[in-house]
Structure 1
């Protein structure tokens, strides 16, 4: 049994990186002495209920007063992360190994890093920031963090992200897909499901939530009778307010906002189709949950989400017009629907939490063995 510190600045943010961190703690706490290195003390009971993990009783090491204040929000998030990274470095000698569940991290002897996306400037990433001072800020952040690329093994969330990271850093990470609860409860038979769509994710410009409304609206104008359920917390922007106002005006749209886990699963289990609109999704937890719930999801032809639908061209689109065309072809053919349902990858073996536990334990064992030689 090794003493392991797992770093994440804030596990209560509610995203995919937080899901990975909580499941990582769950996977390792039964075989190692695990401590969470973070900025503020989390409510593990609430988190376990949401992610269906078992992390209650996990030791927590706070990273200090400055780091805790920075966790409340800071526009220069790379500098914030660099300050956290520096705090982790100072504590690394207290552990047999440090795991970062939040992107690149360098500590003496090397950390095992789960990189969800390139944190620092990466010209080959489609999400590369175009800010004037981005390069300067990266240089400063790397210096504060003491970043040394290649110091410690790297994991990531999709083959697509692995190719981005390899292009950026010359390092090919191993892919360990995030944990997705597969088949939590029996979904309705296909013929009994609502003839409509569910879109899941923050209501925000980068999620392109309004595009989901546009697509379903145009499909209905062509003679289809389809509903759209929007699930997700508005980000507080004018864009989010505009989406909510549009939803109120359209009788085929139901805006749910943020919902409980049970309510989310209930909707995924009772509606036929999923509609995802974010480009360059690093992985796509929502899409994987749609597949696990027996839905047919349609996704942009970019990012890790393409892997989730088995690279099926009938389910991927590059433009709103193409989305409408491929969706209409599917929804008007029961034979095509049945064929696609059979062709989608098995979610339990590919994305299930048991699979994640096995893979993470194996990766950590291999890494610890190399450290003790």
Structure 2
């Protein structure tokens, strides 16, 4: 039984990265002595309920004063969190036989496995795949890199796992090393049991994810507005927790002005499955999506989801007819599919395919195999 440290900045965010961390803990806990290194003290019982995991008997270590410091900053940007985590893991590293990072780059002594959702410091090499960024962004990245004491050689020489082929390309641009692609664990439970024929579903859209500006939720509302202007009687459910208070209020105001937009907020798993399996379409607004856990769940739940034409989400939907580059193009693509019910049925996939390619058991098995390989 090896001593393994699993490192993640903050599990309370409850996003796809946090789901990966909880599943890594679950995959390793029976065979190894596992400790979670994190910046904020998590409620593992609440997280187990949220992610439907069974993490138990895992020790948690947090650095002194850091959580108070982050609270004082009010809204620290993510790269600073990663920098503080890297310093903490480097200080604790000698206690463990293996370190596993689940929140992007770590630059500590090996053996080291790190799961990269998106390289936090890719802007240092101006990767075209992550968009155009200005001087302030680069300066902030450089500051965080120095504060964290990152060693690029240690990043490159570790075992790096990427959540999609697209992110593997981004990482290779940044570090000159090719990661192994290990798709994240998509929870498909409940979808097959609640599946229903396409014609028996409501002709509406479901958006799943945080109510965050970078998720382009208000753009999704605009798309539905314009699809309705084309004569389609559709509606929109926004499912997910608030993230930015100001933006959440903007979304809620937009919904209050429309009787066809409803903010569901954070819901239980049963409620999520019920909403997804009773609707025909999905709509995802985040551009340069690292993988797209929500997109995979929408596919598993039998919807036909429309997504931006970039990032790992393209690999999930598998058709150019479901991708768009602009709001205008989104409206055109959606109008075309909604006007042809037979095409919509043809574009549907199912739970079995998502489970085979992205399921949890597959993820747990791959993580255990990689950990055993590193420890041998």
Which residue in 2 is equivalent to 1:124? 127
Distance 1:76 1:186, change over 3 A: closer
Which residue in 2 is equivalent to 1:180? 186
Q: Tell me the TM-score normalised to structure 2 length.
A: 0.91
Give the count of matched residue pairs: 367
Which residue in 1 is equivalent to 2:345? 338
Give the structure with the higher percent helix. 2
SS of 1:12's partner is helix
Q: Tell me by how many angstroms 1:202 deviates.
A: 2.1
Distance 1:195 1:363, change over 3 A: same
Which residue in 1 is equivalent to 2:169? 163
CA contact (8 A) 1:196 1:273 kept: yes
Distance 1:342 1:268, change over 3 A: closer
Is 1:275 the counterpart of 2:283 in the alignment? yes
Is 1:198 the counterpart of 2:206 in the alignment? yes
Which residue in 1 is equivalent to 2:49? 49
Q: Tell me by how many angstroms 1:77 deviates.
A: 3.8
Q: Tell me by how many angstroms 1:130 deviates.
A: 3.4
Write out per-residue CA displacement over residues 58-93 of structure 1, whole angstroms, 9 at most, x where no aligned residue: 11122x213232443553543332222112111111
Q: Tell me by how many angstroms 1:349 deviates.
A: 0.7
Which residue in 1 is equivalent to 2:323? 316
Q: 1:225 aligns with which of 216, 233, 236?
A: 233
User: Gaps (5+ residues) in structure 1?
Assistant: none
CA contact (8 A) 2:97 2:111 kept: no
CA contact (8 A) 1:183 1:293 kept: no
Distance of 1:362 and 1:125 partners within structure 2 = 33
Q: Tell me by how many angstroms 1:205 deviates.
A: 2.2
Q: Tell me by how many angstroms 1:224 deviates.
A: 1.3
Q: How well do the aligned residues superpose, as a CA RMSD in angstroms?
A: 2.0
Q: Tell me by how many angstroms 1:368 deviates.
A: 1.9
Which residue in 2 is equivalent to 1:290? 298
Distance of 1:237 and 1:148 partners within structure 2 = 36
Q: Tell me by how many angstroms 1:129 deviates.
A: 7.2
Q: Tell me the TM-score normalised to structure 1 length.
A: 0.92
CA contact (8 A) 2:163 2:184 kept: yes
Q: Tell me by how many angstroms 1:119 deviates.
A: 1.2
- Which is further off, 134-143 or 356-365? 134-143
Which residue in 2 is equivalent to 1:254? 262
Distance of 1:56 and 1:207 partners within structure 2 = 32
Is 1:114 the counterpart of 2:120 in the alignment? no
Which residue in 2 is equivalent to 1:22? 22
CA contact (8 A) 1:273 1:296 kept: yes
Which residue in 2 is equivalent to 1:93? 94
User: Gaps (5+ residues) in structure 2?
Assistant: none
Is 1:362 the counterpart of 2:365 in the alignment? no
4+ long deviations beyond 6 Å: none
CA contact (8 A) 1:67 1:84 kept: no
Q: Tell me by how many angstroms 1:36 deviates.
A: 0.6
Q: 1:143 aligns with which of 139, 142, 146?
A: 146
